[in-house]
C-alpha cells in the first residue's frame, strides 16, 4: 500500500513531501520516524488520473497491441489489464480496463467482459477474443484485433487527409469573402444613394455588404445557428448512412467508396479467419460492418447462399461485391485452405486501388473548390467594379 506524506526533516529542518510504500499507516509512520522525519500529515496515496475524456475506438488499438505483447510474454491476463489500468493520461481508458480486470477476477471470460465493458470495442473484437480463448491463441487474436482497428483508423485518416486541402481552400475563400464584405464593400455603399442607377449585380453586392455591416451580430449569430444545426444533422447516424448510400451511386466517388468498403470487408474477414472464427460468423460480422445498405444486404445474402450449400466463390460472384480478380484469389484460397491469407491479399489489392481512386477524386475536387471560391470572390469584385463604373458613367 502506498501513502503520501508531508513533514519536517529533523536533520535539515526543511519541509519534505513524498510518498512511501508500507503495509499499514503505523508501519509508514515508523519508517518515516526512522528516517528522522516528523510527520505533519499522512494519508493513503490517491492516484491522480488525467482529465477524463470520452474513449474513442482509435484509443483502443495501442492498448490491445500492448495486451497482446504482455500475454505473449507469459503475463497473466488480469495482470496485463491491471497494468493498462494504470494509464494516467487517459482516465476513461484506465477505468475501462480496471472494470475489465474486475469482471475477469469475478469469473467472467475475457470475451464476456468485453461485451459488458463500457469501452467502445467493435463487435468483431469480441468474436476474435472468443475464438482466441477457444483455440488457446489469445495473443494472436489480440494482435489481429489491434491490426484491424489500426486498419479501420487508417481508412478514416486517409479520407480525412484527402478532404483537408479542399476544405482549407473553401475556408480560405470564405474568410476572403468576409474580409471583402466587411472591409471593401462598405467603402462603396454610398453609391447606393447616388443618382445613377446601378446594375443589378452591383446593387445586390453593395446591399448585401451594407446589410452585413449594419447587422454583424445577426449575421454571425445566424451563421453559428446554421453551423450548429448542420453539424447535428450530419453527425446523425441515419443521415450519414443515407448520404453514404447516395455517394456510392455517384459516378466518380462511388467506385472509390466501393473499393474502400471491399478492402475493409476483406481485411476483417482475413483477421477473423486467422483467429479461427467460423467462416459464416466471420462473413456475417464483416457484412454487418458495412455502412452501405445495399452492399450490406448483398453481403448478408451471400452468407445465406453459402449456408444453403453454394460455394463461396459462386456466392460472392452472385453478390457482386468483388471483381473477377478477387474471385480467383478466393477460389484458390478456398481450395488450398489458405482463405485467411488470400483475404488479406485481397484487402491489400483493394486498399491500393482505393488510394488510386482517391487521388483521382481529389484531382477533381481541388480544382472544383478553387473554381467555386474564385467565382464567388470574382462576382463580389465584379459587383463593386460595376458600381464604380456606373457611378462615373464609364464604359466597362
Shortest CA distance to 261 belongs to which of 328, 331, 349, 351?
A: 351
What pLDDT is recorded for position 176?
85
What pLDDT is recorded for position 270?
84
323 and 281 fall within a common domain: yes
Range of the domain at 154: 122-396
179 and 276 fall within a common domain: yes
| Confidence grade of residue 52 (pLDDT, cut at 50, 70, 90) | low
* 396 pLDDT above the threshold of 50: no
Shortest CA distance to 247 belongs to which of 268, 235, 261?
A: 261
136 and 16 fall within a common domain: no
Backbone angles phi, psi at 40, to 5 degrees: -100, -45
Question: The C-alpha cell of 93 is what?
Answer: 481508458
Question: d(Cα 100, Cα 111) in Å, to the nearest integer?
Answer: 10
Torsion (CA) 235, 241, 245, 248 in degrees, nearest 10: 60
| Confidence grade of residue 51 (pLDDT, cut at 50, 70, 90) | low
116 and 35 fall within a common domain: no
152 and 75 fall within a common domain: no
246 and 181 fall within a common domain: yes
| Confidence grade of residue 194 (pLDDT, cut at 50, 70, 90) | low
**Cα separations (Å) of 77 from 106, 125, 127, 276?**
13, 16, 17, 20
Strands laid side by side in the 14-21 sheet: 14-21, 2-9, 37-44
Q: What does the pLDDT look like over 326-379, one tens digit per residue?
A: 888 888 888 888 888 888 888 888 888 888 887 877 778 878 888 888 888 888
What's the rounded mean pLDDT across residues 120-127?
A: 79
The total number of structural domains that make up the chain: 3
Q: Which of 64, 90, 121 is the last residue of a domain?
A: 121
What pLDDT is recorded for position 395?
44
pTM over 0.75: no
202 and 266 fall within a common domain: yes
195 and 210 fall within a common domain: yes
232 and 329 fall within a common domain: yes
154 and 102 fall within a common domain: no
95 and 140 fall within a common domain: no
271 and 235 fall within a common domain: yes
Work out the mean pLDDT of the chain and round it to a whole number. Answer: 81
Amino acid at each position: 500500500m502506498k501513502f503520501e506524506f508531508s513533514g519536517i526533516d529533523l536533520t535539515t529542518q526543511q519541509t519534505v513531501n513524498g510518498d512511501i510504500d508500507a503495509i499499514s499507516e503505523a508501519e509508514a509512520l515508523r519508517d518515516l520516524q526512522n528516517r528522522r522525519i516528523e510527520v505533519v500529515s499522512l494519508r493513503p496515496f490517491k492516484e491522480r488520473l488525467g482529465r477524463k475524456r470520452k474513449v474513442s475506438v482509435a484509443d483502443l488499438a495501442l492498448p490491445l497491441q500492448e495486451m497482446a505483447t504482455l500475454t505473449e510474454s507469459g503475463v497473466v491476463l488480469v495482470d496485463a489489464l491491471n497494468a493498462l489500468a494504470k494509464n494516467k493520461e487517459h482516465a476513461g481508458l484506465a477505468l475501462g480496463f480496471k472494470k475489465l480486470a474486475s469482471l475477469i477476477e469475478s469469473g467472467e471470460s475475457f470475451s464476456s467482459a468485453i461485451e459488458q465493458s463500457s469501452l467502445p470495442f467493435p463487435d468483431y473484437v469480441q468474436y476474435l477474443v472468443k475464438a482466441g480463448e477457444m483455440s488457446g491463441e489469445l495473443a494472436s487474436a489480440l494482435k489481429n484485433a489491434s491490426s484491424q482497428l489500426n486498419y479501420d483508423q487508417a481508412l478514416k485518416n486517409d479520407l480525412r487527409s484527402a478532404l483537408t486541402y479542399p476544405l482549407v481552400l473553401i475556408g480560405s475563400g470564405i474568410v476572403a469573402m468576409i474580409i471583402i464584405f466587411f472591409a471593401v464593400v462598405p467603402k462603396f455603399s454610398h453609391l447606393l444613394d447616388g443618382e445613377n442607377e446601378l446594375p443589378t449585380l452591383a446593387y445586390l453586392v453593395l446591399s448585401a455588404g451594407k446589410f452585413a455591416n449594419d447587422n454583424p451580430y445577426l449575421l454571425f449569430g445566424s451563421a453559428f445557428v446554421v453551423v450548429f444545426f448542420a453539424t447535428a444533422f450530419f453527425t446523425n447516424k441515419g443521415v450519414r448512412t443515407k448520404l453514404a448510400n447516395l455517394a456510392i451511386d455517384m459516378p466518380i466517388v462511388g467506385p472509390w467508396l466501393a473499393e474502400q468498403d471491399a478492402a475493409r470487408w476483406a481485411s476483417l474477414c482475413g483477421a477473423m479467419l486467422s483467429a479461427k472464427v467460423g467462416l459464416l460468423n466471420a462473413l456475417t460480422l464483416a457484412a454487418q460492418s458495412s455502412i452501405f445498405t445495399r452492399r450490406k444486404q448483398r453481403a448478408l445474402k451471400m452468407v445465406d447462399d453459402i449456408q444453403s450449400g453454394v460455394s463461396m466463390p459462386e456466392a460472392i460472384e452472385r453478390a457482386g461485391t468483388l471483381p473477377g480478380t478477387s474471385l480467383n484469389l478466393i477460389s484458390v484460397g478456398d481450395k488450398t485452405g489458405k482463405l485467411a491469407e488470400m483475404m488479406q491479399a485481397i484487402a491489400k489489392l483493394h486498399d491500393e486501388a482505393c488510394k488510386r481512386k482517391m487521388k483521382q477524386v481529389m484531382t477533381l475536387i481541388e480544382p472544383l473548390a478553387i473554381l467555386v471560391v474564385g467565382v464567388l470572390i470574382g462576382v463580389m469584385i465584379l459587383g463593386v467594379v460595376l458600381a464604380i463604373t456606373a457611378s462615373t458613367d464609364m464604359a466597362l
